[in-house]
Amino acid sequence: MVDKAVVAFSGGLDTTVVVKYLQEEYNLDVVTVTVDVGQNEDYKKIESKARNLNVKNHYNLDCKVEFVKDFVFPSIKANSLYQKKYCLATALTRPLIAKKLAQIAKKENADFIAHGCSGKGNDQVRFDITLQSESDLPIIAPIRDLNLNREKELQFAKKHGIKIEKLAKRFSIDQNLWGRSIEGGMLEDPYNEPEDDLFLWTSTKYFPDEATYLEIEFKEGIPISANNEFREDPVQLIKYINEKAGSHGIGIIDHIEDRIIGIKSREIYENPAATCLIDAHLDIEKMAQTNHEVRFKAMIDDEWTRLVYSGLWDEPLKKNLDMFINSTQRNVTGFVKIKMYKGNLRIVGRKCKNSLYNKNMITYGNDSDFDQRVSSGFIKLWGMQSTEANKLQKNV
Based on CB atoms, which residue is closest to ligand ARG, 182 or 198? Answer: 182
For residue 70, indicate whether it is catalytic. Answer: no
Tell the smallest beta-carbon distance from residue 251 to ligand ARG (Å): 15
Tell the smallest beta-carbon distance from residue 379 to ligand ARG (Å): 47
For residue 265, indicate whether it is catalytic. Answer: no
Based on CB atoms, which residue is closest to ligand ARG, 92 or 284? Answer: 92
Based on CB atoms, which residue is closest to ligand ARG, 22 or 182? Answer: 182
Cβ neighbours of 105 (radius 10 Å): 24
CB 6 within 8 A of CB 19: no
For residue 14, indicate whether it is catalytic. Answer: yes
- What are the residues binding ligand ARG (CB under 6 A)? 90-91, 122, 172-174, 181-183, 257, 267
Tell the smallest beta-carbon distance from residue 308 to ligand ARG (Å): 10
Instruction: For residue 380, give the amino acid letter.
Output: K
CB 62 within 8 A of CB 43: no
Q: In what order do the strands lie in the sheet with 344-352?
A: 222-226, 212-219, 334-341, 344-352
Based on CB atoms, which residue is closest to ligand ARG, 174 or 293? Answer: 174
Beta strands in the chain (DSSP E): 4-8, 29-36, 57-62, 112-114, 139-140, 172-176, 179-183, 212-219, 222-226, 252-258, 264-270, 334-341, 344-352
For residue 189, indicate whether it is catalytic. Answer: no
Based on CB atoms, which residue is closest to ligand ARG, 23 or 122? Answer: 122
Catalytic residue among 29, 75, 80, 94: 94
Catalytic residue among 10, 75, 123, 128: 123
Q: In what order do the strands lie in the sheet with 4-8?
A: 57-62, 29-36, 4-8, 112-114, 139-140
Catalytic residue among 133, 172, 247, 355: 172
Among the listed residues 72, 78, 126, 94, the one whose alpha carbon sits nearest the alpha carbon of residue 302? 78
Cβ neighbours of 263 (radius 10 Å): 11
Based on CB atoms, which residue is closest to ligand ARG, 91 or 277? Answer: 91
The CA distance from 78 to 96, in Å, is 18
Catalytic residue among 10, 14, 301, 310: 14
Which positions are annotated as active-site residues?
14, 94, 123, 172
